């Protein structure tokens, strides 16, 4: 079974009526790392919201077509139930942190899953350890720096241990050490058979991907092997995905 199935997905916002996604179809197999690239405003974030079921459950507008994650149709399941399959890390860390300490923030998801106390504790330790933020355990998340907040938000979702992980421009605000840490984690997760979708601008950071999807003005422009797409300089330059500096 495919991890992610997107079938003829179109979406337009309620207010402006502008069509953000236009008839998009693709599938992602388990254990694949897929990078989603495209210019600002091309609909990448909107697509992420569709995968987590936030569209249509939270944001109004018109959605046609079908999105399913691990066989669950996003229209039929609640966001919380979809969260059992897909973990979403959003762009803005400030709206993702609400607990008094980093530890509580990471504990939140496993607590919702009704895991036993020992399991929650071991997940926290594991997540803090692989992200290299054990020293921040008792800190107030709101007092951390921008990059550290991103790591905590990432940790809070990793503690869910979802089969599918969606990262919306998480790497952009991290220093080289942080980027390397996340890359290693992603490669490790792939080894465990998890599916990962990363949204990024920087072509270097998406080089760990197996496959690349290119979005332009809401259309799926290209879907191909990472090496092929990233090596096609002429294509990348033409669509402003890479620029001569």
Burial of 143 (0-12, 13-18, 19+ CB in 10 A): exposed
With a CB cutoff of 8 Å and minimum separation 6, the contacts of 181 are 130, 131, 132, 151, 174
> Can you tell me whether residue 148 is helix, strand or coil?
helix
**Is residue 154 at the binding interface for another protein, with CB under 8 A as the rule?**
no
Residue the block writes with tokens 């990448």:
44
Retrieve residue 217's tokens. 């003005």
Length of the chain, in residues? 245
Question: Could you say which of 8, 25, 80, 233 contacts another protein (CB under 8 A)?
Answer: 80
Q: Which of residues 175-234 bind another protein (CB under 8 A)?
A: 175-178, 201-204
The DSSP secondary-structure symbol of 135 reads G
Question: Which listed range, 2-10, 165-173, 182-190, 206-214, lies at the site for another protein (CB under 8 A)?
Answer: 165-173
To the nearest 10°, report the CA torsion of 98, 103, 104, 110: 110
The footprint of another protein on this chain (CB under 8 A) covers a number of residues equal to 70
**Is residue 164 at the binding interface for another protein, with CB under 8 A as the rule?**
no
Q: Which of residues 12-31 bind another protein (CB under 8 A)?
A: none
Q: Shortest approach of another protein to residue 66 CB, angstroms?
A: 20
Question: Which listed range, 24-32, 52-60, 185-193, 213-221, lies at the site for another protein (CB under 8 A)?
Answer: 52-60
Residue the block writes with tokens 């609909």:
43
Question: Could you say which of 96, 127, 154, 167 contacts another protein (CB under 8 A)?
Answer: 96
> Can you tell me whether residue 142 is helix, strand or coil?
helix
Question: Which listed range, 34-42, 60-68, 183-191, 212-220, lies at the site for another protein (CB under 8 A)?
Answer: 34-42
Inter-residue contact 196 to 190 (CB < 8 Å): yes
Q: Shortest approach of another protein to residue 90 CB, angstroms?
A: 7
Inter-residue contact 120 to 110 (CB < 8 Å): yes
Q: Which of residues 104-143 bind another protein (CB under 8 A)?
A: 104, 107-117, 120-121, 124, 142
**Is residue 11 at the binding interface for another protein, with CB under 8 A as the rule?**
no
Rounded to an integer, what distance in angstroms lies between the CA atom of residue 150 and that of residue 168?
Answer: 11
Binding residues for another protein (CB under 8 A): 38-41, 45, 52, 54, 58, 78-81, 83-84, 87-88, 90-92, 94-96, 98-101, 103-104, 107-117, 120-121, 124, 142, 144-148, 151, 156-157, 160, 169, 172-178, 201-204, 240-245
């Amino acid at each position: 079974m495919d991890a992610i199935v997107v079938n003829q997905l179109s979406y337009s916002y309620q207010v402006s009526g502008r069509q953000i996604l236009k008839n998009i179809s693709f599938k992602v197999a388990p254990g694949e790392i897929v990078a989603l690239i495209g210019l600002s405003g091309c609909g990448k974030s909107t697509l992420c919201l569709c995968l987590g079921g936030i569209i249509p459950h939270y944001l109004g507008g018109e959605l046609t077509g079908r999105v399913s994650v691990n066989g669950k149709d996003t229209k039929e399941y609640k966001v919380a139930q979809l969260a059992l399959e897909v973990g979403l890390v959003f762009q803005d860390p400030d709206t993702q942190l609400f607990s008094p300490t980093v530890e509580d923030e990471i504990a939140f998801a496993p607590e919702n899953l009704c895991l036993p106390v020992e399991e929650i504790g071991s997940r926290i330790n594991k997540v803090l350890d692989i992200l290299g933020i054990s020293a921040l355990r008792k800190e107030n998340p709101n007092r951390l720096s921008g990059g550290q907040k991103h790591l905590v938000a990432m940790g809070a979702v990793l503690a869910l241990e979802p089969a599918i992980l969606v990262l919306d421009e998480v790497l952009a605000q991290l220093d080289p050490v942080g980027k390397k840490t996340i890359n290693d984690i992603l490669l490790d997760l792939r080894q465990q058979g998890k599916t990962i979708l990363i949204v990024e601008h920087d072509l270097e950071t998406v080089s760990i991907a197996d496959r690349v999807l290119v979005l332009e003005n809401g259309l799926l422009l290209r879907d191909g092997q990472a090496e092929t797409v990233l090596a096609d300089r002429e294509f990348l330059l033409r669509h402003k995905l890479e620029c001569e500096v």
